[in-house]
Structure 1
Amino acid sequence: MAVKIIRQIPDPVLRRKTRRVLKIDKSVIELVEDMMDTLEKSDGAGLAAPQIGVSLRVAVLWMPEEEPFAIINPEVVKRIGEREVEEGCLSLPGYQGKIKRSVSVTIKCLDIEGKPLRIRAKELLAQALEHEIDHLNGVLYIDHLESPDKLYKIEPKTAEQAGGETPKEGLVIGSPAPPASEDKPPVPESAHAV
């Protein structure tokens, strides 16, 4: 498909609450494929549709050592605990902040085939799910900062830190994404269906 331009702050699309997907048709599947291509190119861990200018409740995630997957119309139904995490975003490259996220979350959503799912996730995956669902609600991680001094500029990774590859700009949750898969994105093993 196609690599899309990632919208950056202050683009107003990032602040809009998204619309629910009513039918998973060819256009939604193409959107997910474009998002996967864009996510792979950016070395990110997650991407929400508004980040490529589309106001639909669709996000894709690509956790370290997992297959990429899409979530459609996700909603958090349960949060447990709280922890301080460092977080960044492809829509605010060059910065990172310390915010509070849940230790674990349970979400309900649809997969790319329209099947209803409940995903129970903890730690990094829980953080990524909350981050992407926030995007779908027009909320950015910087909205969770307790104070401005919790946001700081970061240095881009050196080639050595990036495993010999030239790093992409912008720090995001998690590690760089693994190579793309031609198959439909499944739910990762670290997510537990409930």
Structure 2
Amino acid sequence: MARDIVIWPNKVLTTPTKPVTDFGEGLTKLLDEMTESMKEAEGIGIAATQIGVSLRCAWVGREDGTFFEIINPQILDKSGPVVLEEGCLSVPDYFDKTPRFHKVKVKYQDRVGEWHELEAEGRLAHVLQHEIDHLDGHVFVDHLSALKRGLILEKMRKLQKALQRQKKE
């Protein structure tokens, strides 16, 4: 079942997540809920924090349209600074140029706890950095100027209030 996407600046999005230690049924259920939420929102990735769960896991979209889970990920290496257009399910309808790296090396676990290493570049590297940022308590707007962040913050607070009113009706 899909869950609502949390809108920034909700505290869960700005708090570093806890490592996943239980690779059982609860994790499988969470990953399924994340998938449904991401598909419903038409995203190319989603972190657990974006549905209000402070655990270190996310889904990452490949360029071919498939997805894979990353659990307890760590960026081991990054190179080739690049600026890319970026958006976020938790900051709807806003896109801006964001500094990232063209290439990353990431270590992560899968749903059964097995470790993997992946070298990625281009779009996949971009999505990995974005989702791992979420797990570290950061949203892409943290990379923007204070002025831009302030303007976006105002819009997101209005959106949060509108969504709360809708729920009450």
CA spacing shift, 1:15–1:54, aligned 2, 3 Å: same
Aligned to 1:5: 4
After TM superposition, what 4+ stretches of structure 1 lie above 2 angstroms from structure 2?
146-153
Q: Equivalents in 2 of 1:35, 1:125: separation in Å?
A: 19
Q: Equivalents in 1 of 2:75, 2:11: separation in Å?
A: 24
- Of the structure 1 ranges 60-69 and 101-110, higher mean CA displacement relative to structure 2 is found in 60-69
Q: What is the DSSP-based 3-state SS (H/G/I as helix, E as strand, rest coil) of the residue aligned with 1:88? A: strand
Aligned to 1:117: 116
Deviations 1:3-40 (A, max 9, x none): 01000012111111000011211001110011011111
TM-score by length of 1: 0.74
| Equivalence map 1:1-194=2 (5 Å) | 2-146=1-145, 148=147
Instruction: Kindly state the Cα deviation for residue 147 of structure 1 after the two structures are TM-superposed.
Output: 5.9
TM-score by length of 2: 0.84
| 1:60 and 1:71 in contact (8 A); partners too | yes
Q: Equivalents in 2 of 1:40, 1:118: separation in Å?
A: 26
- Of the structure 1 ranges 11-20 and 137-146, higher mean CA displacement relative to structure 2 is found in 137-146
CA spacing shift, 1:5–1:46, aligned 2, 3 Å: same
Q: Determine which structure has the larger strand proportion and give its number.
A: 2
Q: Equivalents in 1 of 2:123, 2:149: separation in Å?
A: 19
Q: What is the DSSP-based 3-state SS (H/G/I as helix, E as strand, rest coil) of the residue aligned with 2:2? A: coil
Q: What is the DSSP-based 3-state SS (H/G/I as helix, E as strand, rest coil) of the residue aligned with 1:19? A: coil
| 1:14 and 1:138 in contact (8 A); partners too | yes
Q: What is the DSSP-based 3-state SS (H/G/I as helix, E as strand, rest coil) of the residue aligned with 1:93? A: strand
Instruction: Kindly state the Cα deviation for residue 146 of structure 1 after the two structures are TM-superposed.
Output: 4.2
Q: What is the DSSP-based 3-state SS (H/G/I as helix, E as strand, rest coil) of the residue aligned with 2:19? A: coil
Give the RMSD, CA atoms, in angstroms.
1.8
Q: Equivalents in 2 of 1:32, 1:20: separation in Å?
A: 15
- Of the structure 1 ranges 4-13 and 139-148, higher mean CA displacement relative to structure 2 is found in 139-148
Q: Equivalents in 2 of 1:151, 1:127: separation in Å?
A: 24
Q: What is the DSSP-based 3-state SS (H/G/I as helix, E as strand, rest coil) of the residue aligned with 2:88? A: coil
- Greater relative CO (CA pairs within 8 A, separation 6+): 1
| 1:96 and 1:151 in contact (8 A); partners too | no
CA spacing shift, 1:61–1:35, aligned 2, 3 Å: same
Q: What is the DSSP-based 3-state SS (H/G/I as helix, E as strand, rest coil) of the residue aligned with 1:117? A: strand
Q: Determine which structure has the larger helix proportion and give its number.
A: 2
- Of the structure 1 ranges 100-109 and 60-69, higher mean CA displacement relative to structure 2 is found in 60-69
Q: Equivalents in 2 of 1:110, 1:66: separation in Å?
A: 21
What is the one-letter code of the residue matched to 2:44? A
